[in-house]
Chain A
């Protein structure tokens, strides 16, 4: 069943889209729809924060973004309670074996045009916990990652940089 991806962007309706990422890009001829999508995405990115075994340092810095001092709602970035409404998956922590199953489930529940931002050194490369028996190590062994924020924990400004870079990456149609 061919999903009308652009339409579902306008009305934020989650029509299941059986086209996975790659073949969507092959469908370049839908120029009108991809232009619509770029216009729609410029406005707002809804983020879902996923803790896969992090030490809470980065999680608190991510939540600082939504409190008065940094207040990323100015850019339309909003923290949503469930992955079904989210465009960006903000992942912290080296994936522990016990949360491996749930990370996959959360990633699959997100509607198709989805992006992953990894915050923190231990999510990017395992950091201090390299070589532990209960960890997968870095997040990109499991999910395709679009942006990394290095730091233990990363400064909130650096996380805002990552969102800005992600928006530029979407605008350039990657």
Chain B
């Protein structure tokens, strides 16, 4: 696969890639490389960011960037997986590469508490303003108080 080879020979072992049955490419990278890898992908034509998925699996917070490259003949789909520490999750923001990430990052900050450095208006998107500061419903240890 072209994109996996380019990433491999640039970053070597730091990149783990798998292809699943429905030719979706899953690439795992450390969060430090996030901005470079996404800038590289955007130069290679992956210009559509479907969304950013945030998921708390108990030890770490997984962030998945779902990208699509609309080629003339074929369409490639790449999912970039990166991890953030659970207590103080900070990840570089993708606002200038993908402007539509403005709303996705605010949603993940609202429901999971991941801070995106470089995001201008990082406020809550979905929950009302008078909600307590550490109220992040999608965290695994979130209790519903009635």
Q: Which of B127, B137, B142, B144 contacts A98 (CB 8 A)?
A: B127
- The interface on chain B, measured as residues whose beta carbon lies within 8 A of the other chain's beta carbons, has a size of 7
Q: Does A133 contact B (CB under 8 A)?
A: yes
User: Does A133 contact B137, Cβ atoms closer than 8 Å?
Assistant: yes
1/0 per position for B94-128, CB-CB distance to A under 8 A? 00000000000000000000000000000000111
1/0 per position for B73-110, CB-CB distance to A under 8 A? 00000000000000000000000000000000000000
Please name all residues of chain A whose beta carbon is closer than 8 Å to the beta carbon of B142 when the two chains form the complex.
Answer: 133
Please name all residues of chain B whose beta carbon is closer than 8 Å to the beta carbon of A132 when the two chains form the complex.
Answer: 144
Residue of B nearest to A97 (CB): B128
Q: What is the bound-complex CA distance between A131 and B143, given in angstroms? A: 11
1/0 per position for A56-90, CB-CB distance to B under 8 A? 00000000000000000000000000000000000
User: Does A133 contact B128, Cβ atoms closer than 8 Å?
Assistant: no
1/0 per position for A119-138, CB-CB distance to B under 8 A? 00000000000011110000
> Number of A-B pairs whose CB atoms are under 8 Å?
13
User: Does B144 contact A131, Cβ atoms closer than 8 Å?
Assistant: yes
Interface of B is mostly: loop
- The interface on chain A, measured as residues whose beta carbon lies within 8 A of the other chain's beta carbons, has a size of 6
Interface centre among A98, A131, A133 (most CB of B within 10 A): A133
Please name all residues of chain B whose beta carbon is closer than 8 Å to the beta carbon of A134 when the two chains form the complex.
Answer: 126-127, 137
Please name all residues of chain A whose beta carbon is closer than 8 Å to the beta carbon of B126 when the two chains form the complex.
Answer: 134
Q: What is the bound-complex CA distance between A153 and B127, given in angstroms? A: 26
Residue of A nearest to B135 (CB): A133
Residue of A nearest to B128 (CB): A98
Q: What is the bound-complex CA distance between A61 and B132, given in angstroms? A: 37
| Residues in A98-134 with C-beta less than 8 Å from chain B | 98, 131-134
Q: What is the bound-complex CA distance between A133 and B143, given in angstroms? A: 9
Interface centre among B126, B128, B131, B137 (most CB of A within 10 A): B128
Q: What is the bound-complex CA distance between A134 and B125, given in angstroms? A: 13
Q: What is the bound-complex CA distance between A133 and B136, given in angstroms? A: 11
Mark A residues whose CB is within 8 Å of B. Answer: 97-98, 131-134
Mark B residues whose CB is within 8 Å of A. Answer: 126-128, 131, 137, 142, 144
7 nearest A-B residue pairs (beta carbon): A98-B128, A133-B144, A97-B128, A133-B137, A134-B127, A131-B144, A98-B127
